Structure 1
Amino acid sequence: MNGNARTAEDPVFGAVHLGYVAVGSRRLRDWHRLGADAIGLHVDELDTDTLRFRLDDHTCRFLIRRGPAEDVIALGWQVDDHRTFDRILARVADRGVPIEEGTAEDAALRGVERLWRFPGPKGIATELFTTAVTSTAPLSMLSSGWITGEAGFGHVAITSREPEAMHAYFRTLFDARLSDFIDENISGLRMKIRFLRVNQRHHSVAVANIRGLRIDPVRTRVQHINIQSATLGDMLAAYGRVTELGFRMAWAVGQHTNDRELSFYCVTPSGFELEVGWNPIVVTPELEAAWEPKTYQGISIWGHDTVHETLADKLAQLRTIAGRLRTPEITVPELTGAATQ
């Protein structure tokens, strides 16, 4: 099947946007420092167990809830209208995948009116909603702003030993289209990275192929989450604050080959990376009409130099790897077949 195909009767592509990320962590104080003082986000402390980060008028873009995971536990996807929402849920239900409605508390914490949840790849719950709770209260943050809107608030990158299954999952649900590939060698590991778009953002999901490895070298379910600065100055200022406050930098400032985004990557208190970027390509309707996927050699035109790990970092990684030998990757087989027509 052509990964870029869309159906006339069920136009899901373009009507879905990454709405929020939910994280389980015991390190709320460190998350507060990273979000407010380093990255420059608006932070709301709901109680001693709950932080929320705002980037715009949505009351929640990041939910940090006290828990043992130290990882992303759910991705929330906003759907434009109830008709499209029903089509997506029908695709899930028709394949026998269990769907549950989130509790009123779940919805309130995530800043949405209602949500429905079902399994996603690598154990990350997929949550759908149509209406976000918004606020006119002024944002208190060091950044001048963030790019969200029609493209959602950013993207997620995931390593996978089952990349075709993950691609099929998002194609089945959202009619995801292939933007392009990148071939890259990272720390001696040769991989092909697949970039998927579900709207005008160049990619909302990036999947790094690590097929053939007995273990996933990335402990966390996601490798990184991306957010987009409104200005180059905002991005560079955040880079300076992250460095000054002692948070570990994974990749210094550089520019990507495929979407041309300038960005840096820092390590969050939960271990996955946060990419702060600026000015990626937008796949406008004019570009969409003629888009052809390409393969790029290397992730960066320039920069994105790696920051050397300490011995403690290496030992921690080895302990993680030793504890995960032969652990199968979680997939959702019912949603990795052909997309609904």
Structure 2
Amino acid sequence: MTLSALGYIGVRSTKTSDWTHFATDLLGMQQVDAGGPVRAFRMDDRKQRLIVTGEGSEGLDFMGWEVASAGELDRLAGRLENAGVRVKSEATALADERHVARLISFPDPEGNRIEVFCGPDIAADPFRPGRQISGFKTGALGMGHAVLHARNVDVLLPFYRDLLGFHVTDYGLKPYKLYFFHLNGRHHSFAMVGSGRQGLHHFMVELLSLDDVGQGYDLAQEEDGRVAYTLGRHSNDHMMSYYMNSPSGFFVEYGWGARVINPATWQPHETFDGPSYWGHERLYMPEDSPDRERLKAMRLDAARRGLRANDPASNCAWLESVIGRE
């Protein structure tokens, strides 16, 4: 594989005060001084994972994907240029802003900006969360995952799969096309949903403790309109999570307990059971929305059939004790 993980995400937003509250008090990230209008936030030993520009229209600005070496970066740039993609080798000044050694950028077929880098800077001081959490599950799995709206999945699919080397984990074709991709052991680092729109649907961060998620859920419910999806468990990656409305209009998924796959043996497959085994009620949709009713019917069908994850995470003592008794 060329790309190894999601390294960072950039958000265009002038709502820097709102993002500072959201990223630190709710997500538990650490704010770092980025200079000027830019706000940056840490999740681990990397100098930054989330960047808010302080300018422009609200939404996704860029996704930063990591490669292992400068040689890998050059090979990727060559492959893209041979395919007719406009690749820019970014100046040292921008690489310094991103806290990486080298950096290239290019658009995907729908105009989303992609950055690929090598040599991330490691912070000298330990990560200090914005609220009391156990920490984020990152490391070789990367920052988390990002999910894009797609005007036309059939155009984006060959670009990400065949040219960039994302590997299909699973996919659904009805009522719209939805593809999940892996780069490492994380079930998916990237996904696209054929909504007919463009932009970021959500990004996800994974916590080290279920209690971190539960306490975050309590805090989020104290803010009117903050929770977009109720607590639930996904059927494909088995993540237990809820979604929040971010200050910039897209969602942020906050979760724990996702399965880790073996990329060497994993076989892509079509899924039919709906997105969640339980929960994840779409509060942002009108109560009488046909889509909300359809998703609810799929969850209730999963409940009647007793569908459940068969590989629960092993970092919750209470859950382990229940599994042991069963």
Report TM bin, short chain: 0.7 to 0.9
Is contact 1:52–1:63 with CA below 8 Å preserved after alignment?
yes
- Aligned pair partner of 1:201 in 186, 193, 201: 186
Structure 2's unaligned 5+ residue stretches are: 290-326
Please give the per-residue CA displacement for 1:261-317, whole angstroms capped at 9, x wherever unaligned: 1111101111111011111111125xx425241313210000001214589xx9xxx
Alignment of 1:1-341 (within 5 A): 11-12=1-2, 15-141=3-129, 142=131, 143-182=133-172, 190-210=175-195, 216=197, 221-246=199-224, 248-284=226-262, 288-308=264-284
- In 1: Cα distance, 2:126 partner to 2:224 partner: 29
Aligned equivalents of 2:267, 2:84: Cα separation in 1: 34
- Give the TM-score normalised by the residue count of structure 2: 0.82
Per mean C-alpha deviation after superposition, the further-off stretch among 254-263 and 301-310 is 301-310
- Structure 1: give runs of 5+ residues left out of the alignment: 1-10, 185-189, 315-341
Tell me, what secondary structure is at the counterpart of 1:31? helix
Take 2:28 and 2:99, find their aligned partners in 1: how far apart are those partners? 20
Contact map agreement 1:183 1:297 (CA 8 A) in 2 = no
Structure 1 residue 48 displacement after superposition: 4.5
Amino acid in structure 2 at the alignment position of 1:202: H
Preserved contact between residue 63 and residue 109 of structure 1 (Cα < 8 Å): no
Identity of counterpart residues, as a percentage? 29
Distance 2:114 2:12 in 1: 15
**In 2, Cα distance between the equivalents of 1:308 and 1:117?**
34
1:54–1:60 Cα contact (<8 Å) kept: yes
Aligned residues: 286
8 Å contact from structure 1 (residues 16, 174) kept in 2: no
Greater relative contact order (CA < 8 Å, ≥ 6 in sequence): 1
Q: Secondary structure at the match of 1:33?
A: helix
Give the whole-Å Cα distance in 1 for the aligned partners of 2:179 and 2:231: 22
- State the alpha-carbon separation in 1 of the partners of residues 154 and 9 from structure 2: 23
What CA RMSD, in Å, does the superposition of the two structures yield over aligned residues? 2.1
